[in-house]
Structure 1
Amino acid sequence: MMDLMTDNKVHDESRQGEAYAPFANDPNQYKKKFYIESYGCQMNFSDSEIVASILNSAGYGATRDMEEADLVLLNTCSIREKAEQTIRKRLTEFRKAKMRKPGMLVGVLGCMAERLKANLLEEEKLVDMVVGPDAYRTLPGLIVEAEGGQKSVNVLLSRDETYADISPVRLESNGVSAFISIMRGCNNMCSFCVVPFTRGRERSRDAQSIVAEAQDLFDRGFREVTLLGQNVDSYYFVDEKSNETVSFANLMERVALISPDLRVRFSTSHPKDITDEVLHVMAKYENICNYIHLPVQSGNTRVLQLMNRTYTREWYMKKVDRIKEIIPDCGISSDIIAGFCSETEEEHQDTLSIMDYSQYDYSYMFFYSERPGTLAARRYKDDVPEDVKKRRLQEIVDKQYYLSLDSNKRDVGRTYKVLIEGESKKDANAWMGRNSQNKVIVFAKEQYDLKKGDYINVTVTDCTKGTLLAVIEK
């Protein structure tokens, strides 16, 4: 499961519901304007950048003001019931805006498209078009249909669409960090997850196009890329011309070799697929960040089997051991579900104890929300009372609070290389960046002539649960 999906996390601010305008692009050159909001995982935000590129080619420029848009889009998340409720509320607000501006079109993109297309189009009449994650190329034609009064729908899933030839518009970019989608879909049938049904089967993008996109970003001044996929460690591409097989470790190395000044991150890993080869490549290159997002979901083997996670508690713990053996200073974060079907109090305690064992720097935490169409919805009874789910979730959140704080306290006195991403949100006289372990570090600008995209060594002097406070190393 991808990260950035939840409300309860001990780290930086979530990007859910973020509205976009394009980076380094003049919207006034376009005849019409579009407004887009994205919810959920990083893949959705990456997809919005692909959509922006397609719409630019169709004569639409982005706007931050929904009221002036000719086309309003919501790129949706369906991982939790609360996410769907949020999106329905926004669509109701858009309908009011549409009444004030006749001719405005409203569309839903992404993971809610397939499951709720009939409700959104016909029953609730909230939208004019519904477009699935593999159908974004058809947007210009669907817009024309909607302008003619038709209800436009394309939610067909593809076995080969990767959008490899589309150059994303870097929406609301800081000019330093960017996402690169390396694969789409998922073959892991985790029983709680809708992704295989909303995004289709797994397929990998050709390696050459990924490296070329990373090279272009570096040439344009970007200094960090995050390789994205539902399960990046299962990336697998065969070059038909050379018959060469490219694994994720091979791909990551190729990107790292572009320049030692280009940082490389990735998300997300499935514990069953992350290999020693990947870990050794990470250890080999200083510019591949020492950070792994390794979702555990539950610390109990029986519950993991119900979730169809294909590993046991003991196996996961050995994987954590292996990571720390090969990369001793590697940061690890996780996804955790409280109150999955039939989870007992003792099994919940197993989750708390595996958190202690793994020493997560931060986690994305939520209680189980049954999603229609998933294996869990068909096979198991959602029998843990909501008040129990919430209480267990709070215990997990409390546990992660102290783990995060303790992790940050251990960093006090240490010196880290930081990539400056911009000014601190709270202090214009301070810079904000992250270290290799993905921890946010804030430090005073002082008299140094620095700018976004620069690297600087800083020494940590203090911390909160979510931020390291530092000074520039003299």
Structure 2
Amino acid sequence: MEGKEQNRQEGIPLQFCKNKTKRRDKSFNVYIKTFGCQMNKYDSEILEGLLKTRGFTLTPHIEYADIALFNTCSVREHAERRVYGQVNMLSPQICSLGKSKRGDNYPNKRIIGVIGCMAQAHKEKIFDRLPQVDLVCGPQNLYNIPDYLEDIAKNNKRILAVDRRERPVDRENFSFRNKRRYLTAYVTIMEGCNNFCSYCIVPFVRGREVSRPPSLIIKEIEVLIKKGAKEVTLLGQNVNSYGRDFNNGYNFIQLLKDIDKMHELRRLRFITSHPKDASDEMFIAMSKLPTVCESLHLPIQSGSDKILKSMNRKYTREDYLRKVDILRKLIPEVSLTTDIIVGFPNETDEDFAETIDIMKRVQFDTAYIFKYSPRPYTQAARLEDNVPKKVKEERHQELLRLQKNITLSNNKKLINRKVGVLVESADEKGDYLIGRSRTDKVVIFKGPKELIGKIVEVRIIDASLANLKGEWIRL
């Protein structure tokens, strides 16, 4: 239930804070830790902006935080274990909260919140497992978090806010966005997913697909450009489904074309594409639109048709290979990345061998490889998790070794090539500049810091697993 409250006198008693040192600034210090995908990072930026407009102070140091918020991911069990571990290590008694901030009627303690997808998935069970937590808030209620925090601080409540509903109009006030630098930026174009892959919890925690109006997306990008953005990445659980809820024919390809007309924008990326919806028309648009970068994340998940069917992915390995072939004919230099799950229920050695085969055939630039873990609410959770942990680990390690070799080989093929690099930062010593190519390769090279924020030409002279090393070509 939205805004469900629990009086602390009936729940876990508040503990007095040992550190009662008062500061000149009476605002709450808020620390936010973000787990998971780029959409979570985007949500955290919005939340940071909302908190700042309400007078909260952000801190990167948890030891100075009066409020600690954990923006969580529930896609995999490992991500949830990390959250539980970090919250358990965080004592509610160690804080710098002064009585003036909570009122004289309540003892001092740090406020702890678990927000995001994990909160939506487990709801009040988080209070049972983490009794020190004050706030459990799902993604759809993110925009109310400043109100919840003030209510908790003032009235000594626990709040459970996991209703699914449309976000308020204020979500389109882009002044809420908090970024330390705007050179590269994420922009959410849609939320939710209708695909219901059998292993995936996303539709249950993010809801069904809802596309943002294109005018608001364009407006947000215009604001980002004015603040210095050169590159924008469009976000959605399945960007290829964008616009299907409009019923007016406007779709993702048209959105790409409209954004491409914004001449001040130099680069455009997008994630994630579902293979069943990645069309030839999209590949053609990628090849023709100047701002769209030559990189694509196209999750295969498995090379076995049997496993793909059990996953409810709605494509075959041959469907996938055909799309890759068309894409590479149109864009030979394209960088292709993917996701793979090993140890899905009933995955045999033969199924696993087919995944190895497709990795060798496609030669992905990067593969994010995960061991299967059952997720609540999903169809796959009803299946017996019958691949032994030892076998999952062996398969996981084998694919990691294979992908490292492929990645290194692909990177070495770029030696002596000239690439355009958007310079994003310098290393700590200031010896090297760091940027990314259009194919999303990290490139390091020596040059003056004045190049940060510019796109420069670099000749690649060496390659490693993690990055490319280059020489700046002075014009």
Give the one of 280, 283, 287 matched to 1:279: 283
Unaligned stretches of 5+ in structure 2?
A: 1-23, 98-107
Give the one of 339, 345, 348 matched to 1:344: 348
Cα 1:248/1:395, change in 2 over 3 Å = same
Counterparts of 2:186 and 2:26 in 1: how far apart (Å)? 25
Task: Answer yes or no: is the 8 Å Cα contact 1:134–1:161 preserved in 2.
Answer: no
Is 2:201 the partner of 1:194?
yes
Task: Answer yes or no: is the 8 Å Cα contact 2:421–2:443 preserved in 1.
Answer: yes
Task: Answer yes or no: is the 8 Å Cα contact 2:138–2:163 preserved in 1.
Answer: yes
- 1:372 Cα shift? 2.1
Give the one of 84, 89, 94 matched to 1:93: 89
Is 2:398 the partner of 1:392?
no
Cα 1:90/1:200, change in 2 over 3 Å = same
Aligned partner letter, 2:427: S
DSSP 3-state at the match of 2:140: coil
Task: Answer yes or no: is the 8 Å Cα contact 1:174–1:421 preserved in 2.
Answer: no
DSSP 3-state at the match of 1:190: coil
DSSP 3-state at the match of 2:225: helix
Aligned partner letter, 2:147: G
Counterparts of 2:166 and 2:146 in 1: how far apart (Å)? 22
CA RMSD for the aligned pairs?
2.1
The residue number in structure 2 matching 1:110 is 116
- CA deviation profile, 1:132-174 (whole Å, cap 9, x unmatched): 0001122233223322122101111125779751326555544
Larger Cα Rg: Structure 1 or Structure 2?
2
Counterparts of 1:160 and 1:70 in 2: how far apart (Å)? 27
Greater relative contact order structure (CA < 8 Å, 6+ sep): 1
The aligned length equals 440
Unaligned stretches of 5+ in structure 1?
A: 1-27
Listed as ranges, the matches of 1:51-66 within 5 Å are: 51-66=47-62
Counterparts of 1:264 and 1:233 in 2: how far apart (Å)? 15
Counterparts of 1:365 and 1:168 in 2: how far apart (Å)? 37
Counterparts of 1:176 and 1:419 in 2: how far apart (Å)? 9
The residue number in structure 2 matching 1:132 is 138
Aligned partner letter, 1:450: E
Question: Which has the larger displacement, 183-192 or 365-374?
Answer: 365-374
- 1:123 Cα shift? 4.9
Task: Answer yes or no: is the 8 Å Cα contact 1:191–1:306 preserved in 2.
Answer: yes
- 1:261 Cα shift? 4.4
Cα 1:163/1:355, change in 2 over 3 Å = farther
DSSP 3-state at the match of 2:282: helix
Question: Which has the larger displacement, 222-231 or 89-98?
Answer: 89-98
Task: Answer yes or no: is the 8 Å Cα contact 2:225–2:264 preserved in 1.
Answer: no
Task: Answer yes or no: is the 8 Å Cα contact 2:27–2:57 preserved in 1.
Answer: yes
The residue number in structure 2 matching 1:10 is none
Task: Answer yes or no: is the 8 Å Cα contact 2:307–2:347 preserved in 1.
Answer: yes
The residue number in structure 1 matching 2:28 is 32
Listed as ranges, the matches of 1:56-455 within 5 Å are: 56-98=52-94, 101=97, 102-147=108-153, 148-158=155-165, 164-167=171-174, 171=178, 173-236=180-243, 245-259=249-263, 261-378=265-382, 380-424=383-427, 428-445=430-447, 450-455=450-455
Counterparts of 1:141 and 1:199 in 2: how far apart (Å)? 22
Cα 1:159/1:322, change in 2 over 3 Å = farther
DSSP 3-state at the match of 1:453: coil
Cα 1:439/1:222, change in 2 over 3 Å = same
- 1:100 Cα shift? 7.0
Aligned partner letter, 1:391: E
Identity of aligned residues (%): 36
- 1:383 Cα shift? 0.2
- CA deviation profile, 1:54-108 (whole Å, cap 9, x unmatched): 2223221211122332321000011222211111111112234557752421111
Counterparts of 2:413 and 2:304 in 1: how far apart (Å)? 28
Aligned partner letter, 1:79: V
Counterparts of 2:95 and 2:119 in 1: how far apart (Å)? 23
DSSP 3-state at the match of 2:174: coil
Counterparts of 1:424 and 1:172 in 2: how far apart (Å)? 20
TM-score normalized with structure 1 length: 0.88
Aligned partner letter, 2:189: I
Counterparts of 2:207 and 2:419 in 1: how far apart (Å)? 40
DSSP 3-state at the match of 1:135: helix
Task: Answer yes or no: is the 8 Å Cα contact 2:196–2:203 preserved in 1.
Answer: yes
Counterparts of 1:172 and 1:29 in 2: how far apart (Å)? 22
Counterparts of 2:325 and 2:240 in 1: how far apart (Å)? 18
Counterparts of 2:72 and 2:196 in 1: how far apart (Å)? 21
Counterparts of 1:395 and 1:44 in 2: how far apart (Å)? 30
The residue number in structure 2 matching 1:9 is none
Counterparts of 1:465 and 1:394 in 2: how far apart (Å)? 16
DSSP 3-state at the match of 2:156: coil
- CA deviation profile, 1:8-35 (whole Å, cap 9, x unmatched): xxxxxxxxxxxxxxxxxxxx99832211
DSSP 3-state at the match of 1:434: strand
